[in-house]
Amino acid sequence: QITLKESGPTLVKPTQTLTLTCTFSGFSLSTSGVGVGWIRQPPGKALEWLALIYWDDDKRYSPSLKSRLTITKDTSKNQVVLTMTNMDPVDTATYYCAHRSQSDYYFDYWGQGTLVTVSS
Amino acid sequence: DIQMTQSPSSLSASVGDRVTITCQASQDISNYLNWYQQKPGKAPKLLIYDASNLETGVPSRFSGSGSGTDFTFTISSLQPEDIATYYCQQYDNLLFTFGQGTRLEIK
């Protein structure tokens, strides 16, 4: 059974760096084809894909946010970490991590999401 | 970057109605188009992958079709539990993009 859970601060100040951790079980990020992505959703708005890391450490980022994002993995801990620099109130959103299907390009398992508010 | 145009942005229909949502890509994406359902306060749930394949456990009243740039998502007979926001998602050139969502309400 695949599960994912996001953790991190619920409140960050403008200009600070956000660090979110996705802790997962039921699969290994060392298995060929596996990937874990991050998607966010501002209150009342649409989903936005942010980044994805593959089993081979290949990393992909949303072009509009690439300069602010870093995604890393710790295979031994079954964790994926997303950092986003220079946070702004418009970055207030629920942040989800999700499992990318091993052989295709969709997200078949999602975490419950974590709401991050950016405010001074 | 590929842009996704999803329509309508909101939709009101009666129980038993046939509901259709469309998603148009700005470039050919073959069949790399997926559909998700999101209920309030919940994470999205995958319904349709690769344009027309029903995810395991998803009721057969949900279906998808299309390829290239034009895609359609259909609920054949709307049920009260289908009230949600629906999103398309495409994959191309190593990047992912979601549509703007369609909010579905019961009349």
Closest CB from A47, A63, A108 relative to B46: A108
What confidence category does residue A103 fall into, taking pLDDT thresholds of 50, 70 and 90?
confident
Which chain A residues contact residue B94 at CB under 8 A?
Answer: 60
Residue A68 DSSP code: G
Average pLDDT value for residue range A35-59: 97
Spell out which residues of chain B touch residue A111, defining contact as CB-CB under 8 Å: 43
Indicate the average pLDDT of chain B: 96
How high is the pLDDT of residue B88? 98
Mean pLDDT computed over B58-72:
98
Mean pLDDT of chain A: 97
The two structure tokens encoding residue A58: 């290949």
pLDDT attached to residue A39: 98
Per-residue pLDDT at A63 exceeds 90: yes
Check if B97 contacts A (Cβ < 8 Å): yes
User: Distance from A17 to chain B by nearest Cα, in Å?
Assistant: 24
User: What percentage of chain A has pLDDT greater than the value 90?
Assistant: 97
Classify burial at A5, counting beta carbons within 10 Å of its beta carbon; exposed 0-12, middle 13-18, buried 19 or more: middle
Task: Judge whether residue B94 has pLDDT over 90.
Answer: no
**pLDDT at residue number B57:** 97
User: Which residue type sits at B34?
Assistant: N
Report the chain A residue with the minimal C-alpha distance to residue B101. Answer: A46
Give the HSE-up count for residue B20: Cα atoms under 13 Å, Cβ half-sphere. 6
The answer to whether the Cβ–Cβ distance between B101 and A46 falls below 8 Å is yes
Averaged pLDDT, B94-100: 93
Say how far residue A42 (Cα) sits from the centre of its chain: 14
Chain A residues in contact with B97 by the CB 8 A cut-off are 49
Q: Give residue A79's pLDDT.
A: 98
Cβ neighbors of A99 (< 8 A, separation 6 or more) are: A2, A4, A24, A27, A34, A35, A36, A107, A108, A109, A110
Binned at pLDDT 50, 70 and 90, residue A97 comes out as very high
Query: Given an 8 Å threshold on Cβ–Cβ distance, is A60 in contact with B94?
Result: yes
Q: Which residues of A touch B96 (CB under 8 A)?
A: 37, 49, 52, 105
- Distance to chain A for B64, nearest Cα, Å: 15
Query: Which helix H or strand E contains A12, and what residues bound it?
Result: strand A11-12
Q: CA-to-CA distance for B13 and B46, rounded, in angstroms?
A: 22
B73 vs A92: CA distance, rounded Å: 30
Cβ under 8 Å to B: A residues 19-78: 37, 39, 46-49, 52, 60, 62-63
State the average pLDDT over residues B74-100. 95
Q: What is the pLDDT of residue B23?
A: 98
Q: How confident is the model over A75-85, as a mean pLDDT?
A: 97
- What's the Rg (C-alpha) of chain B? 13
Average pLDDT of span A40-49: 98
Average pLDDT over residues A31-45: 96
| Residue A101 pLDDT exceeds 90 | no
- By C-alpha distance, which of A5, A2, A1, A3 is closest to A95? A5
- Give the DSSP per-residue string, chain B: ---EEEE-SEEEE-TT--EEEEEEESS--TT-EEEEEE-TTS--EEEEETTTEEPTT--TTEEEEEETTEEEEEESS--GGG-EEEEEEEEETTEEEE---EEEEE-
A94 Cβ neighbours under 8 A, 6+ residues apart: A40, A41, A43, A113, A114, A115, A116
Q: In chain B, what is the greatest distance between 2 CA atoms, to the nearest angstrom?
A: 40
pLDDT band at A7; cut points 50, 70, 90 = very high
Query: For A110, which of B32, B43, B55 is closest by C-beta distance?
Result: B43
